[in-house]
Structure 1
Amino acid sequence: MALQEQIQWVVRLSVPAILAEISSIAMQYIDAAMVGSLGGNASAAVGLVTSTTWLFNGLCVSAATGFSVQVAQLIGADKDAQARSVLRQAILGTLCFGLVAALAGIGISFALPRWLGGEPGIRPAASQYFLIYACALPASQLRRMAGNMLQCSGDMRTPSALNVLMCLLDILFNSLLIFPARHISLFGGSVSLPGAGMGVAGAALGTALSELAVAALMLYALCLRSPKLRLKRGGSWRVQKGIQLTALRLALPMALERVVLSGAQILSTRIIAPLGTISVAANSLAVTAESLCYMPGYGIGSASTTLVGQSIGAGRTDLARRFAYLSTALGVAVMACSGALMFLLAPLMFSILTPDTAIQALGVRVLQIEAFAEPLYAVSIVVTGALRGAGDTLAPSILNLISMWGVRITAAFLLAPRFGLVGVWLAMCGELCIRGILFLIRLLRGKWLTLPSLAKNGSEPQ
C-alpha cells in the first residue's frame, strides 16, 4: 500500500467509529443534563456509582475483546470459516459472562453506596440506579461483543449507525421515564407529554431499554447479515477449549487491568466523597463533559485494532507498524483539537449540564485543567488499540497499573486535603501525561510485533 492509501484506510475506519463514540457521549450528556435538572443530589447519586459501572463495563469490554482480536487476525489471514467458529464461541462465552456480571451487580447494589461513602440522602437513588444498570448487563455485553466483531471484520458503519440509534432511543425513553406527565409549549400551542416520573431510576431504565433494543439489532446484523461472519447452518455450538482459552489469555490481563483501574477510580470516589455533594456532582459532570474530548480517541483505537489485527493475520508486520503509527498520529491531532475546544467551551458545557452555579464553577476549573492532558492521553488510548490488535494485552495492563496506582492515586491522596477536587484533577492530568509517554515508548520499541499470530492457531472450520 502507498502511504496515501494507508492514511485513507485509517480515516475510513476511524470516522464511523468516532461518530459512534460521539453519539455515545451525546447520550451521556443528555442523561447528565436530564438528571442534573432534578438537582445536585440526583447528579451526585449517579456520580457516586459511576466508577463502579466503569468497572463492570471494562470487564464486559475485556470479555468481548478476547474473541474479537482472534476474529480480526483470522479474517486478515482469509480464514473466514474459523472466524465464524470463534463467533459462535464468543456468543456462548460472553452471554455466560454477562449473566454472571449481572448477578454480581444485583448482589452488591444495595450496599454499594454505603461502601463508597455516599451521604445518606443520595444512597437510595444510587442503589436503584445501579440495580437497574446491573440487570441490563447481559444485553450490554452482547451489544459490545457484536459491535466489536463487526468492527474487526471491517464493518464500522453498521455498529456506528446502531450506536447512534441507541442514543436516540435513550433520549426517547429518558424523556418518558425520568419526568412526570407535563405540558410543553410548541409553536405557540401546548402539547401534553406522558411521563412516569421515576427520576434517577428512570434514567437507568431508559438506558437499559435502549441497550436491549440495540443488542438485538446488533446481533441480527452480525449473525444474519455480515458478509464475513454471517452464521451458516450446520455449524457446531459445542464448546471449543482452544478458542475459549485463547480468549481467556487475551481477556484476563485486560480484566485485571480494569479491576485495578476501576479499583483506583473507586478509591478516587472515596477520596472525593468526603469533600461534599458539590464536589461529587462536579466530578461526575466533569467526567461526562471530558468524555466528549477523549471518546473520539477510542474510536480511532478501535480502527487501529482492526487494521493492526488484520495486518498481523496477513503476515504484514511492516503494514501493522505503519497503521499503528498513523492511527496514533491521527488520535493525537484529533484530541489536541478537542482538548482546546473543551478548554474554551467548559463554561457552556456546564451551563447545559446543571443549573447549580456552585457545581458549574468548580466543574469548569477542573475541566480546564484536564484539557492539557488530552494529546498524551490520546497516545495511550490509540496505542492500546494497536497493541490489542497484535494480541498484546499484558503490556498495556502493566503500564496502566503502574501509572494509575503509582502516580494518580498517590498524588490525589496527597493533594485532595489541601486543594480539594482541583487537587484530584491535577493528579489525573499529570498521570495521563506520564501514561501517554509510557505507551509511546512501548509503541516505538516494537516488541509487540514479534508476538505469534493468532491466525496460525485458528480452530477448524465449523
Structure 2
Amino acid sequence: MNFKKVLSIIKQSLNGENQDYTQGSIRRAVFLLAVPMILELSLESVFALVDMFFVGKLGENAIATVGLTESVITIAYSIAIGLSTGAGALVARRIGEKNPEGAAHAGAQAMLVGLGVSILITIAGMVYAGEILSLMGASATVVAEGAIFTRIMFGGSVVIILIFLINGIFRGAGNAAMAMKSLWIASITNIILCPVLIHFFGLKGAAIATVTGRSVGVLYQVYHLIKGNGILKFTAHHFKFDAPIIKSIVNISWPATLQFVIASGSWIFVAKLVAETGGTAASAGYQIAIRNVVFFILPAWGLSNAAATLVGQNLGAKEIERAEKSVIIAAKYNAIFMGGVMALFLFCADPIIKLFTNDAEVISYGVRALRIFASAYVFYGVGMVMTQALNGAGDTKTPTWLNLVCFWLVQIPLAYTLSKVFDLKATGAFISIPVAETLLALGAWYFFRRGKWKQIKV
C-alpha cells in the first residue's frame, strides 16, 4: 500500500462516511475503523496524563486522592463499557442485517438503561465520598482534602456513562469518526479547563473540568443522534420503553459489565494493597505508572473495538469466515504495537516517571511499577482483541468467566501472597498484574479459536 493510498484511507476514515464493512478488503476495513478509534482513545489518554501532570503539582496527597478515586469510579466506567458493549453488539448486528431502524431503536433503549443505572451510582458516590477514600486505605489527610474531588466525580457519573455508551452505539454502526470527534471535544475541553480550574479551585477544579468536558461531549453526541446525518437517526418513538429489547440489552450487557467490574475490583484491591504496604509514596508512584499504562492501553483498546464492530456486522451479514479473519488481523497489529510500547517502558521508564514528579521515592516506585507492567504488554494487546471479539459477537459470558478466574482467583491471591506473605510489599502487588493479564490473553485466544461465538444469536 503506497503512501498516497494510506493518506486517502486515513482521510476517508476521519470523514465518517458510511461504509459497508461486510465486503471488500478486510485490512482496509480494519484500518478504516481502527484509525478513528485509536485517535479517539489516544486523546482520552493524553488527557489522563495532562490531568496527572497538573494534579501532580499539588503534591502526593492530591495524586493519591485522584488515583484512589479513579480506582473506585472505574466501576462507573465498567458499567458504561458493559452497556456500550451490549448496545454495540446489537447495533452492529442490526446494521449487518441492513436494519438501521432496528439499530436506532436498540441504541435508544440502551440509553434508557444507562440513565437509570447512573442515578444510583451518583447518589451512592456523593453521599459516601469520604467513606470510599477511607475504605481504599487513604490517610486522614487525604480523606479531608480529597472528599470534595471524589464527590464531584461521582456526581458526574451520568455523563461518564452516557459518553461511553453513546460512543459504543456509534461504533457498532460503523461510525467510528463520530465517536472519535465526541471524545476529542470532551478531552480538549478537559485539557483547556484543567489547569485553569486547578489554579482557582485547587484539586476540586480537576473534577469540575472532567465533568464539564464529558458534559460537552454528551451534548455533541445527542445533537448528532437527533440530527441523524449518518446511518443512525434517533426519534422520540425509539425511546418508548420496549421490554424485549431492554431484556436483550441486559442479557448481553450484564456479563460484559460484570467482566469489567471484576477487573476493576481486582485493580481496586491492588491499589489498596499498594497503599497499605508501601504508603503514600508507593501509591503515588503506582498511580503515575498506571496513567502511563493507560496512555498506551487505550489506543490498543481502540483497535480491539474495531475488531468487535467487524465481528458484529459480519455475523449479521452471515460472513462468518470474514469475521474471524478480521480478528486475526487486528490481533497481529495490536501485538506489534504493544511490543514497541513494551520496549519503550522497559528502557525509558525513569525519564517518563520524572516528567510527573521530582520526589525520589515516588520516582523509584513508579519506575519499578512501569517496568513490571511492561513485561507482558504483547499479551495485553492480543488479549484485548480476543475478548472484544467475543464481546462483539454477543458472547459476553466467556470473557466474564475468564476475568473472574484470572483476576479474582489468580491476581488477588497472588498480590496478597507476594506482598504480605513473602514481604515483597508494593512490588509483589505490581508483579501480580502482568501474570493475570498473560493468563487472560491465553484463555481468550483458546476460546476464540474454539469458535462457539459464531453461533451466538442477538
TM-score w.r.t. the length of structure 2 is 0.91
1:405-443 Cα offsets, whole Å, 9 max, x none, are 122111111111322222211111111111111111111
For the residues of structure 1 that align with 2:321 and 2:413, how far apart are their CA atoms? 39
CA shift, 1:240, in A, is 0.6
CA contact (8 A) 2:311 2:327 kept: yes
Counterpart of 2:258 in structure 1 is 256
**Are 1:43 and 2:28 an aligned pair?**
no
| 397, 405, 410: which one aligns with 1:407 | 410
C-alpha distance 203-305 of structure 1, shift in aligned 2 (>3 A): same
After superposition, residues 57-456 of structure 1 pair within 5 angstroms as 57-179=77-199, 196=200, 198-232=201-235, 235-274=237-276, 275-417=278-420, 418-452=423-457, 454=458
Please give the secondary structure, in 2, of the residue aligned with 1:111: helix
For the residues of structure 1 that align with 2:22 and 2:103, how far apart are their CA atoms? 28
Letter in 2 for 1:330: Y
Structure 1 regions of 5+ residues with no counterpart?
180-195, 455-462
CA contact (8 A) 2:190 2:209 kept: yes
CA shift, 1:4, in A, is 8.5
CA shift, 1:144, in A, is 1.3
Please give the secondary structure, in 2, of the residue aligned with 1:178: helix
C-alpha distance 254-3 of structure 1, shift in aligned 2 (>3 A): closer
For the residues of structure 1 that align with 2:327 and 2:150, how far apart are their CA atoms? 37
For the residues of structure 2 that align with 1:231 and 1:258, how far apart are their CA atoms? 28
For the residues of structure 2 that align with 1:3 and 1:416, how far apart are their CA atoms? 52
Letter in 2 for 1:327: A
For the residues of structure 2 that align with 1:237 and 1:89, how far apart are their CA atoms? 6
For the residues of structure 1 that align with 2:132 and 2:262, how far apart are their CA atoms? 18
For the residues of structure 2 that align with 1:33 and 1:256, how far apart are their CA atoms? 32
C-alpha distance 327-176 of structure 1, shift in aligned 2 (>3 A): same
**Are 1:28 and 2:48 an aligned pair?**
yes
Counterpart of 2:16 in structure 1 is none
State the identity %.
Answer: 25
1:317-342 Cα offsets, whole Å, 9 max, x none, are 11111111111111111111122122
Structure 2 regions of 5+ residues with no counterpart?
1-20
Aligned residues: 435
Please give the secondary structure, in 1, of the residue aligned with 2:394: coil
CA contact (8 A) 1:293 1:339 kept: no
Once structures 1 and 2 are overlaid, which stretch shifts more, 411-420 or 20-29? 411-420
C-alpha distance 301-223 of structure 1, shift in aligned 2 (>3 A): farther
Please give the secondary structure, in 2, of the residue aligned with 1:84: helix
Question: Pairwise CA RMSD of aligned residues?
Answer: 1.8
CA shift, 1:264, in A, is 2.0
For the residues of structure 1 that align with 2:149 and 2:22, how far apart are their CA atoms? 51
Once structures 1 and 2 are overlaid, which stretch shifts more, 334-343 or 388-397? 334-343
Once structures 1 and 2 are overlaid, which stretch shifts more, 416-425 or 432-441? 416-425
CA shift, 1:30, in A, is 0.4
For the residues of structure 2 that align with 1:61 and 1:92, how far apart are their CA atoms? 15
CA shift, 1:170, in A, is 0.8
For the residues of structure 2 that align with 1:331 and 1:158, how far apart are their CA atoms? 23
C-alpha distance 304-2 of structure 1, shift in aligned 2 (>3 A): closer
CA shift, 1:252, in A, is 1.0
